[in-house]
């Protein structure tokens, strides 16, 4: 029965934080500062109300961190262009499938008029599942693993 809720519950019923949006053409440096100040793991890049891209922590790690780049260049040169999106009325099940299939942690939400209306993050899905299966989550036995070598300091 609870599995049915995953397939039928619309994304709009999840507890979503507002998306952080920046205008196309904003400098990479300004976007990074905005992400840091907002404690955001990603930002949506918009032209007006239309989402044209997404820039995530993973983009920062893979494209920026170990490379010498001009941080004054526009974010458009570093973002993922035209990201896959969902609508607020799409189901949690659709989101889980998309995240699993493509390895996404963040999916922009676009309303019926094509306007950016939010951001779905993997933590929203985890929170939903934890609330849907509270006994299973609270009663999980800790894993006892014997490590062969010390890890870290």
- What's the pLDDT tens digit per position in 34-48? 999 999 999 999 999
Identify the pLDDT of residue 1. 56
Residue with tokens 């990074």, as numbered in its chain: 32
Confidence of residue 148 (pLDDT cuts 50, 70, 90): low
How many domains would you assign to the chain? 1
Q: What is the mean pLDDT of residues 128-142?
A: 79
User: Would residue 147 count as lying in a domain?
Assistant: no
User: Would residue 152 count as lying in a domain?
Assistant: no
* pLDDT surpassing 90 at residue 140: no
User: Would residue 148 count as lying in a domain?
Assistant: no
User: Would residue 140 count as lying in a domain?
Assistant: no
Confidence of residue 150 (pLDDT cuts 50, 70, 90): low
User: Would residue 144 count as lying in a domain?
Assistant: no
The CATH number of whichever domain residue 118 belongs to comes to 3.10.580.10
User: Would residue 16 count as lying in a domain?
Assistant: yes
Instruction: Please state, as a whole number, how many other Cβ atoms lie within 10 Å of the Cβ of residue 142.
Output: 5
The whole domain housing 59 covers 2-133
User: Would residue 36 count as lying in a domain?
Assistant: yes
Ranking 34-43, 116-125, 140-149 by mean pLDDT, the lowest is: 140-149
Identify the pLDDT of residue 137. 66
| Distance of alpha carbon 150 from alpha carbon 72, whole angstroms | 42
The predicted-structure confidence for 87-108, as pLDDT tens digits, reads as follows 999 999 999 999 999 999 999 9
Q: What is the mean pLDDT of residues 3-12?
A: 89
Check if the beta carbon of residue 74 is closer than 8 Å to that of residue 27.
yes
């Amino acid at each position: 029965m609870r599995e049915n809720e995953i397939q039928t519950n619309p994304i709009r019923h999840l507890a979503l934080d507002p998306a952080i949006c920046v205008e196309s053409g904003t400098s990479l440096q300004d976007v990074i500062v905005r992400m840091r100040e907002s404690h955001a793991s990603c930002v949506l890049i918009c032209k007006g109300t239309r989402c044209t891209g997404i820039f995530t922590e993973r983009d920062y790690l893979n494209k920026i961190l170990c490379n010498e780049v001009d941080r004054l260049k526009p974010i458009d040169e570093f973002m993922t262009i035209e990201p896959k999106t969902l609508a607020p009325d799409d189901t949690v099940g659709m989101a889980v499938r998309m995240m699993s299939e493509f390895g996404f942690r963040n999916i922009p939400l676009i309303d019926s008029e094509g306007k950016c209306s939010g951001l779905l993050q993997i933590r929203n899905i985890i929170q939903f599942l934890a609330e849907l299966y509270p006994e299973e989550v609270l009663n999980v036995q800790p894993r006892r693993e014997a490590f062969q070598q010390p890890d870290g300091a």
